A and B are shown apart, each in its own frame.
Chain A
Amino acid sequence: MQLRLSWCTATFLVATAMQAEDYVSVQVLQYNENDNRVSVTAPSIILNKDFGTDYTLNASLVGDAVSGASPTYYDASSGASAYARGDNINVSDVEYGNVHFSEQRVAGSLLFTSRFANRDELRVGANGSSEHDFNSGSGSLEYMHWFDGAKNSTLTLGSSYQYNEITARCVDKTDCDASSGASELKTASAINLQVGISHNINPQSYAEVALFYIADDGYLSDPYLNVVRNNDGTTADIVGEKRPEKRRAYGGVIKYVNAITGNTTLHLSYRYYWDDWGISSHTADSDLYYELGSNWIFKLGLRHYNQSAADFYNGTDSYFSDELYASSDYRLSDFSAWTYKSNVDYTVTKEFSLNLSANYYDQTTGLKATYFMTGFRYNF
């Protein structure tokens, strides 16, 4: 699942001075894709605790239940029974559709911030994630340096390392009644390096620029995805997809925040990504915040994403021959997407606030998703 990788990766952005306070936040995410595909329910709890003015600990725990149907090739002539890999199929019978699955995951993270006499910050983080066939752990280290005594500009250097384990087990019993043989452990690692600067341009505006580098190595294929090879017009073979075991990615992020009026703030950002699999992407993001009185904060947002396809991608209606690398994963295809975002925060008392967000995602591949998040925050 793409979700698990993106959620548990230690991420860092160009830092600003933390508005540290003691709080507990409880949130529930509900994510649903169209066509009854993936559905995720994810409750989470976040604890933030200051120890004096020099140390802060942030801890979070999330558990999610994922269910739905993942697309695969199946035999249209005998109903929706999925093809097993190694099957030689009749081309006229092959269809591409969904097969049901369900997964549970637990993930936790810790971030410890230490501030020095000049208020520079060192942040050390650790993340862990576990599900039945996938375990992941990561650590991150980040240093933020103030350029000036007026605290207007920062330099941030960040790094993280992630290690993933994929265990082979017989989980899909649609093809067989049992499975015999070794369970092989596949591993993958990711190194993420980032450098960024931020600057308060004036009392109303603020900007950040960051560059990043990502090195992925190991088993980067999706163990659940198949491709069609050797289509001779009559028959073809179903085999597992195969991606390179190495990926290098580079990119940059620019962010600009402007207080348009006393109670309206605009956040704009642009991100460029390029990797040696052939994918380059552009993300433009905007959020408009509006404060109504002292109790309400409304947000409306719009994000546009566009990417080119990986060199080894072919659509599911196409096929491969003897190419070394092959994938029909739509996430590696040429597509663009819009995300429509909304959020409201309501401060009930000084200590207690509620939040609700509703979002809609529309991808040109046909994937559409809604995700809602609601919860509360208690300051103590």
Chain B
Amino acid sequence: MLKKHIYTFEAMTTPCELILYTENKTMADNAAKAVLQEAKRLERKYNYYDEDSLLSQLNSRSTNVLDRETKEILQRAKQYYKLTNGVFDITVATLKALYTTETTNDALQAKKEQLLHYVGCEHFSIKRDKIYFDNPYTTIDLGGFVKEYAVDRAVSVLKKHKLTSALINYGGDIYALGKKPNDTSFIVGIKDPNNPKEHIKMIPLENQALTTSASYERQYQIEDQVYSHIINTKSKTSSAKSVSVISKSCVESGIYSTALMIDKNITTTNQVLLF
């Protein structure tokens, strides 16, 4: 008889929750501990704001050597950049330093014009185990990638620990491993963007990931104009307030939900829910 065990922790500034079904508590404890360690490892390695992270060292050009994992992540990011017609772009961080509350709109626009030339995944290339930037300004932020990647990594860790039924939820980026012990799917509620605390739709998941992007979650306020945290270099707009994508991997869902938030015309074979 599988029993339900719930674990919560914080990683990547996000509240994380694991619902694990195991025969005994020790098995669940061990699996949860391994998942937490993996999340913390990724947090340290790819933290944009930590000067000691590998990502910061790449951005400061103090190293250009990539380990296997980072190489794969960057290659996938470049691939998604093409698939989303440049909307999902890990180099948009080049503009990130502009978005501070001290900056005026005029100053923002002037600097943005200058730096826009260095935004785009074509400004870096990967050869063997090294990354090469074609200018000193382009920087990479994996913020739109790592949390979802950590969910996918958690799935691998749980599978290694022989778990067959679990729900991983990192701040609304979700993967359902298997079914619940009563042989029903995990049910994930999608929040109604127009009505707090309400679910606009209930989605059954089984070995599937679901993420939702909504532009009003985090905003930068400059003078009286509000900028979404999904910084949009292409000036495209989408009328959707909330986009959910269901796929086989959390990275895939996360990238498409973010990209579709900006441009709803991007094509994908995954299941998409626009609200």
Do A and B actually bind?
yes
Which residues of the partner chain B approach A183 to less than 8 Å between Cβ atoms? 191, 217
B197 engages A224 (CB within 8 Å): yes
- We find that the number of chain A residues with CB closer than 8 angstroms to chain B is 27
User: Which listed residue (B193, B199, B217) contacts A175, Cβ 8 A?
Assistant: B199
Which residues of the partner chain B approach A170 to less than 8 Å between Cβ atoms? 189, 191
| Cα–Cα distance between A104 and B197 once the two chains are bound (Å) | 18
| Cα–Cα distance between A223 and B217 once the two chains are bound (Å) | 19
User: Which listed residue (B172, B190, B197, B199) contacts A223, Cβ 8 A?
Assistant: B197
A180 engages B197 (CB within 8 Å): no
CB distance from B203 to the nearest CB of A (A): 8
Which residues of the partner chain B approach A185 to less than 8 Å between Cβ atoms? 196
A180 engages B191 (CB within 8 Å): yes
CB distance from A115 to the nearest CB of B (A): 42
For residue B32, CB closer than 8 A to chain A, the reply is no
For residue A178, CB closer than 8 A to chain B, the reply is yes
For residue B17, CB closer than 8 A to chain A, the reply is yes
Q: Which residue of A lies closest to B217 (CB)?
A: A182
A181 engages B197 (CB within 8 Å): no
| Cα–Cα distance between A267 and B242 once the two chains are bound (Å) | 57
| Range class of the B interface residue count | 20 to 34
Interface membership of chain B positions 158-195, coded 1 if the CB is closer than 8 angstroms to chain A and 0 otherwise: 00000000010100111010001000001111111101
For residue B73, CB closer than 8 A to chain A, the reply is no
For residue A169, CB closer than 8 A to chain B, the reply is yes
Which residues of the partner chain B approach A85 to less than 8 Å between Cβ atoms? 192, 195, 198-199
A84 engages B214 (CB within 8 Å): no
B202 engages A180 (CB within 8 Å): no
B172 engages A181 (CB within 8 Å): yes
Within 8 A of B (CB), among A191-212: none
CB distance from A223 to the nearest CB of B (A): 4
| Cα–Cα distance between A240 and B198 once the two chains are bound (Å) | 8
For residue B244, CB closer than 8 A to chain A, the reply is yes
For residue B150, CB closer than 8 A to chain A, the reply is no
| Interface SS majority for chain A | loop
For residue A100, CB closer than 8 A to chain B, the reply is no
| Cα–Cα distance between A10 and B27 once the two chains are bound (Å) | 52
For residue A289, CB closer than 8 A to chain B, the reply is no
A86 engages B200 (CB within 8 Å): yes
For residue B132, CB closer than 8 A to chain A, the reply is no
For residue A324, CB closer than 8 A to chain B, the reply is no
For residue B258, CB closer than 8 A to chain A, the reply is no
For residue B155, CB closer than 8 A to chain A, the reply is no
CB distance from B121 to the nearest CB of A (A): 27
For residue A168, CB closer than 8 A to chain B, the reply is yes
* Interchain residue pairs with CB less than 8 A apart (25): A84-B189, A84-B202, A170-B189, A172-B197, A176-B187, A177-B167, A177-B187, A178-B17, A178-B19, A178-B167, A178-B174, A178-B188, A179-B188, A179-B189, A179-B190, A179-B191, A180-B174, A180-B191, A180-B210, A180-B244, A181-B172, A181-B242, A182-B217, A186-B196, A240-B195
User: Beyond the given A180-B172, A182-B191, could you list 15 further A-B residue pairs with CB under 8 A, ordered by the A residue number?
Assistant: A85-B199, A168-B191, A169-B197, A176-B189, A177-B180, A178-B167, A178-B172, A180-B191, A180-B212, A181-B193, A181-B244, A182-B214, A182-B241, A184-B214, A219-B196
